[in-house]
Amino acid sequence: MSEPVVVVGGWASPFVTRVCIALRLKGVEYEFLQEAVGRKSELLLRSNPVYRKMPVLLHGGRPVCESLVIVQYVDEAFSAAGKPILPADPYRRAVHRFWAEYADAKLHSPLRTLRGMVGGDKADAAEQVSAALRQLEEAFLECSGGKRYFGGDDVGFLDIVVGSYIGWFGAAERIAGLPVLDEARTPRLAAWAVRFCAHDAVGDLVPDAARLVEFGEVLRAALAANASSRP
């Protein structure tokens, strides 16, 4: 367990954010290697030759890819450190994994539309996100058992997955001018989001919405410049 831990990624990515939160929950020290905006390093491409994307966790030089896989790996590889991230009960663990997959499937793409990263109808994208959050509001009741987090008394796997989008909810609202995490529609999730961001293991790892808006502008410019430079 003394092998060095390195996270390759970008501070603005929700998928990178969740890996860092998992490591902090476990009390694992790690080095963060920031990728240049709009470019992929040789280390990233070498470490993840299949999908060629961040994040990558290097543990003793061995790469682990895909954020959901990485978070589960962190829970297992550092089982003696900190509290468990995934529920101990196999059924509850399966339920939390199901909702984690649901969150990524339903939130990522429409949020990209709202941020202006891809084309599409912003009003429709906002409704897709809202519908997904209403469904996750119901999942919160089931998974939390009436406690403070999806994981119960403390932040767990599903908290990390859904919580990694919180900064981008705020950024999407500012960019699109449409409500995303709406307290009137999903009051429990809105209250949970405040608790999640105030947790000691989360704190500054969830990026500020205004900073993410600025980052989105820089990223779009970098991608446009890269596209125009290609033959």
- Give the CA-trace dihedral at 137, 143, 146, 150, to 10 degrees: -80
Task: Say yes or no: 119 and 67 in one domain.
Answer: no
Task: Say yes or no: 55 and 103 in one domain.
Answer: no
pLDDT reported for residue 213: 92
C-alpha neighbours within 13 Å on the C-beta side of residue 126: 20
Give the whole-angstrom CA distance, residue 143 versus residue 172: 27
The tokens of 168 are what?
């981008």
What's 120's domain CATH number?
1.20.1050.10
- Please identify, among 54, 77, 100, the residue that sits at the C-terminal boundary of a domain: 77
Per-residue pLDDT of the chain (231 residues; tens, 9 = 90+): 579 999 999 999 999 999 999 999 999 999 999 999 888 999 999 999 999 999 999 999 999 999 999 999 999 999 999 899 999 999 999 999 999 999 999 999 999 998 887 888 999 999 999 999 999 999 999 999 999 999 999 999 999 999 999 999 999 999 888 889 989 999 999 999 999 999 999 989 999 999 999 998 888 787 777 666 666
One-letter amino acid of 70:
I
Task: Say yes or no: 127 and 19 in one domain.
Answer: no
Task: Say yes or no: 102 and 174 in one domain.
Answer: yes
> Domain span at residue 157?
90-211
Task: Say yes or no: 186 and 121 in one domain.
Answer: yes
Task: Say yes or no: 94 and 73 in one domain.
Answer: no
pLDDT reported for residue 33: 98
- First-to-last alpha carbon distance for the chain, in angstroms, is 47
pLDDT reported for residue 229: 63
Task: Say yes or no: 42 and 106 in one domain.
Answer: no
Q: What is the DSSP letter of 12?
A: T
pLDDT reported for residue 76: 97
- Would 84 be classed as within a structural domain? no
Task: Say yes or no: 123 and 177 in one domain.
Answer: yes
Q: Count up the domains in the chain and report the number.
A: 2
Give the whole-angstrom CA distance, residue 71 versus residue 67: 6
